[in-house]
Amino acid sequence: MKIAVITGGSSGIGKSAAIQLGQRGVAVILTYRGQQAGAEAAMNEIEAAGGSALALKLDVSRVSEFAGFVEQIKDLLQTRWQQSQFDYLVNNAGMGGGMPFTEISEDYYDQIFNTNFKGPFFLTQALLPLLRDGGQIINVSSNATQLATPGFSAYGASKAALSCATRYLAKELSPRGIRVNAVSPGPVVTNLADGAFAKHPEYIEPLAAQTALGRIGQPDDVGRLIAALLSEDCRWVTAQDIQVSGGYLL
Ligand SMILES: NC(=O)c1ccc[n+]([C@@H]2O[C@H](COP(=O)([O-])OP(=O)(O)OC[C@H]3O[C@@H](n4cnc5c(N)ncnc54)[C@H](OP(=O)(O)O)[C@@H]3O)[C@@H](O)[C@H]2O)c1
């Protein structure tokens, strides 16, 4: 049985990826930060369909907590599945939200970079001994790295760092047969940016109008790509940053 660790599995894209992988027979360890109920809902949906899932609390912006998290994973792999390693790491947890460049404080910058780049970077390093040779890593980046939408300089730059590191890790981890790719969604209706789409449903239509396929993205549009990329069908794909946006601003 293949086992995936997915950060930010309590909501949106991560929750979808967890459920999609569960449906494909992959056991899932998903993490949440604040939304335990969302994580449990994902876990219950996977188990109700005959899959296997666990939820753990993790704040990816706190590197000092990673050693304890690794020990937790090590124990759970053994007790739940009698395994010493897992197969797939999906660095999905992230924070969004725009702020004009002139207003960005050092605190906000640190929060964005710690969550979107430093966290996944060092979490990957910490979990690497538990990742099987021939395993895979997917980093959830953003197509903001290719745009220049005002207000997203810190967010876009944090994701550009993640996309860049993806290529470097693909090379450096290739001797172990580990594939490393990024997926870069366009706008997707999730809880990102403190539930901006729920608070401002009027944002959705203009974004749909700028999307070639005529609607805004849904979590499953990205969750399915993540599951597909982790499959054997994509075994020759590495070091890629795959846009999944329905042709946003094409
Ligand atoms: N939605 C979009 O338009 C869009 C576009 C491009 C890229 N993305 C990227 O897609 C990824 C998933 O976001 P989403 O859109 O699905 O948003 P979401 O619904 O808000 O989900 C974000 C997930 O990340 C977790 N998270 C946030 N900060 C965390 C932290 N410090 N430590 C641990 N977990 C944390 C959340 O956990 P809790 O809720 O439990 O706190 C939640 O599970 C992010 O990396 C985001 O940047 C999204």
pLDDT on residue 97: 85
Topology at the third CATH level for domain 3-244 = Rossmann fold (3.40.50)
Tell how far the Cα of 93 is from the centroid of ligand 1, in angstroms.
5
pLDDT on residue 40: 98
pTM over 0.75: yes
Q: Which residues of the chain are modeled with pLDDT < 50?
A: none
pLDDT on residue 142: 98
Ligand 1: residue whose CA is nearest its atom 44? 94
Determine contact, residues 42/18, Cβ cutoff 8 Å: yes
Strand partners, 188: 217
Determine contact, residues 81/59, Cβ cutoff 8 Å: no
How far apart, in whole angstroms, are the C-alpha atoms of residue 157 and residue 149?
Answer: 12
- Please write the tens of the pLDDT for every residue from 139-163: 999 999 999 999 999 999 999 999 9
How far apart, in whole angstroms, are the C-alpha atoms of residue 240 and residue 130?
Answer: 23
For residue 185, the tally of other CB atoms under 10 A from its CB is: 25
pLDDT on residue 193: 87
- Catalytic-role residue among 108, 155, 203, 248: 155
Is 88 annotated as catalytic?
A: no
Distance of CA 196 to the CA centre of its chain: 19
Closest CA to 28 of 61, 44, 10, 52: 52
- Which atom of ligand 1 is least distant from the CA of 195? 20
